[in-house]
Chains A and B, each alone.
Chain A
Amino acid sequence: MHQVEIATTRETLLDSPEMVLNMGPQHPSTHGVLRVILKLDGETVMDLDCDIGYLHRGMEKIAENRMYTMIAPYWDRLDYIAAVSNGLVWVETVEQMMGLVVPPRAHYIRTILTELNRIASHLLWLATHALDIGAVTVLLWALREREEILKIFERQFGARLTCHAWRVGGMPNDAYDEFEADVRRFVSNFPMRLDEYETVLSENRIWLSRTVGIGVISAEDAVAIGLSGPALRGSGVAWDIRKARPYAAYADMDFDVPVGENGDTYDRYLVRLEEMRQARRIVVQALDKLPDGPVNAKLPKIVKPPAGDYYHSIEGPKGEIGCYLVSDGTAQPWRVRVRPPSLINLQALKKLCLGHLVADVVAIIGTLDIVLGEIDR
């Protein structure tokens, strides 16, 4: 348990000690069961500590006792907002360790659906972030577009949130019949919706005054802490695994990486909005180039990667999702380790929050875009 030191001596009224405020684990805007212990002087944050682990399910230990094929559904429950991306990192790690060559059609469909999932995840981030700052209407508008994506997921994978999207070596089913039409309909409507959010938020002076200059982190600090994803790019570091170590079909895609300049909440907001536009661009390209063919590689009867260890990471919606896999040559992994982007991004919370007000803590938790399922695992 973390403890924040409190002055225990009785002091006079004028010289009163700071107040310790427990924010969470039951709090409307800690995005789950995060507990933040704040030391407040008035409403200014003097000190801060995070208490995590309320959602610990022992995912990595469970994975040691399951066959390789059985682990994928558990992977969905790490970052349940971006289950498709999470599933992808697991199957790609196993595939690359085994040296399986996945057919290009599977790669393209994976690219399309992970990008759609990136949009869905960013939409949910926008919804909750706007809700934390008080713009409730954007919440439901964003959820409406997310619903369209979840419908596509339901038709493709059979589930909406924790989809169990991929199998080692390819996909459970080929794309359903109206897949292309559905995706095209979504991408044609989507820019208009994004403009609507921008109308309500981007230039709004209240939104600006709540986000500009709040939670500033410099590029050096961001790299030192190990931030990844939009939180890193908001600080001005142009780093994207989709470009640096392309996986799936990203090597064939043409897209830009949005990079902020000041590393504050507003820049991260702009970066994520632009990422949604770029994701849409990738989806359109992948749909245009979508090749025909099988979607599954030829698999051995039992999935058994050779003994050894391997690390693979992809650019998830929240940052670098990594998977370190140690195999001893049997049908069950010897050790699995996840690199959860949310956990590492959360480490910046103290640095971002000190000196700000309670209301800003909420905004900063929102801007880091954490998911507790992934932090606690």
Chain B
Amino acid sequence: MPLVKIPKPKFIEKLQRFFFVDLLKGLQLTLKYNLGALTDKDAVGGKGIYTEQYPKVRPDVAPRFHGAPRLNMDPETHDTLCIACNLCALACPEDCIDVLAMDVEIIVAGKPRKKKVLDEFIFDTSRCMFCALCQEACPTSCLELTQDFELATYSRAGFVWNREMLEQGRETVKYTR
């Protein structure tokens, strides 16, 4: 193969190569890291250690993180904010949301009216890809993807969250050791 435009090596480069300067520079850098890690425990100046000791130290999750889903409730009345509009189910690319609504009769201004309220909300987290399109579609800020990222369960059925789990949160074992 033709090798074009090769710069002629200078004498100093030849000399450096003769004395293994190229290898020694790399060795010096790793030694610097090694000694730096022994003497300096903070992540400063490229010497420290960057390991996050996950179960012991909880990671700092960003506020916008798309994690476990949650159905928000009105903080005062503890009624669900969901109006069963089905927009989230329509927006979901993976069809993992099922909104089951039921009609209740209420009296508005003395007349009986039918109103659609939420009966059951099924969210299949095993198929969810956490794109947050449902969260953006929700008109009442009810469905929200939270910062909880520990979604593993022992069974496939455990991935399907119902309304109660979405509202109250799922019980998980928090490992701290």
Q: Are B3 and A176 in contact (CB under 8 A)?
A: no
Is A335 on the interface with B (CB-CB < 8 A)? no
**Which residue, A71, A176, A193, A262, has most C-beta atoms of chain B within 10 A?**
A262
How far does the Cβ of B17 sit from chain A's closest Cβ, in whole Å?
Answer: 7
Q: Which listed segment binds A: B110-118, B125-133, B166-174?
A: B125-133
Q: How far is the CA of A73 from the CA of B29 in the complex (A)?
A: 41
Q: Are A203 and B25 in contact (CB under 8 A)?
A: yes
Q: Are B64 and A205 in contact (CB under 8 A)?
A: no
Q: How far is the CA of A69 from the CA of B93 in the complex (A)?
A: 9
How far does the Cβ of B147 sit from chain A's closest Cβ, in whole Å?
Answer: 9
How far does the Cβ of B99 sit from chain A's closest Cβ, in whole Å?
Answer: 17
Q: How far is the CA of A156 from the CA of B22 in the complex (A)?
A: 40
Q: Are A74 and B93 in contact (CB under 8 A)?
A: yes
Contact A159/B26 with A70-B91, A147-B50, A193-B46 known, Cβ cut-off 8 Å: no
Q: Are A73 and B66 in contact (CB under 8 A)?
A: no
Q: Are B50 and A172 in contact (CB under 8 A)?
A: no
Contact A71/B93 with A158-B65, A162-B129, A193-B46 known, Cβ cut-off 8 Å: yes
Is B108 on the interface with A (CB-CB < 8 A)? no
User: Which of the residues A69, A154, A200 comes within 8 Å of B133, measured between beta carbons?
Assistant: A69
Contacts across chains A and B counted by CB atoms under 8 Å: 77
Q: Are B64 and A173 in contact (CB under 8 A)?
A: yes
Q: How far is the CA of A151 from the CA of B132 in the complex (A)?
A: 18
Over the window 35-77 of chain A, the binary record of Cβ atoms lying under 8 Å from chain B Cβ atoms (1 yes, 0 no) is 0000000000000000000000000000000100111111001
Is B40 on the interface with A (CB-CB < 8 A)? no
User: Which of the residues B4, B64, B92, B133 comes within 8 Å of A156, measured between beta carbons?
Assistant: B64
How far does the Cβ of B5 sit from chain A's closest Cβ, in whole Å?
Answer: 6
User: Which of the residues B26, B46, B62, B133 comes within 8 Å of A204, measured between beta carbons?
Assistant: B26
Q: Are A199 and B26 in contact (CB under 8 A)?
A: yes
Q: How far is the CA of A158 from the CA of B136 in the complex (A)?
A: 13
Is A372 on the interface with B (CB-CB < 8 A)? no
How far does the Cβ of A197 sit from chain B's closest Cβ, in whole Å?
Answer: 10
Contacts of A193 in B (CB 8 A): 46
Q: How many residues of A contact B (CB 8 A)?
A: 39
Contacts of A77 in B (CB 8 A): 129
Contacts of A262 in B (CB 8 A): 1, 3-4
Is A125 on the interface with B (CB-CB < 8 A)? no
User: Which of the residues A73, A157, A205 comes within 8 Å of B93, measured between beta carbons?
Assistant: A73
How far does the Cβ of B82 sit from chain A's closest Cβ, in whole Å?
Answer: 21
Q: Are B93 and A159 in contact (CB under 8 A)?
A: no
How far does the Cβ of B75 sit from chain A's closest Cβ, in whole Å?
Answer: 23
Is A1 on the interface with B (CB-CB < 8 A)? no
Q: Are A158 and B145 in contact (CB under 8 A)?
A: yes
Is B30 on the interface with A (CB-CB < 8 A)? yes
Is B15 on the interface with A (CB-CB < 8 A)? no
Contacts of B92 in A (CB 8 A): 70
Q: Are A205 and B23 in contact (CB under 8 A)?
A: yes
Contact A159/B65 with A69-B133, A262-B4 known, Cβ cut-off 8 Å: yes
Contacts of B130 in A (CB 8 A): 158-159
B1-60, CB < 8 A from A: 1, 3-5, 17, 22-23, 25-26, 29-30, 46, 50
Contacts of A71 in B (CB 8 A): 93
User: Which of the residues A69, A154, A205 comes within 8 Å of B22, measured between beta carbons?
Assistant: A205
Which 7 A-B residue pairings sit nearest by Cβ, starting from the closest?
A70-B93, A73-B131, A158-B64, A203-B22, A200-B26, A155-B62, A158-B66
A/B interface sample: 5 pairs, CB < 8 A: A157-B64, A158-B62, A193-B46, A204-B26, A205-B17
For the A-B complex with A73-B93, A213-B1 known, give 6 more contacts whose Cβ atoms are closer than 8 Å.
A137-B30, A196-B46, A200-B30, A204-B26, A213-B3, A261-B5
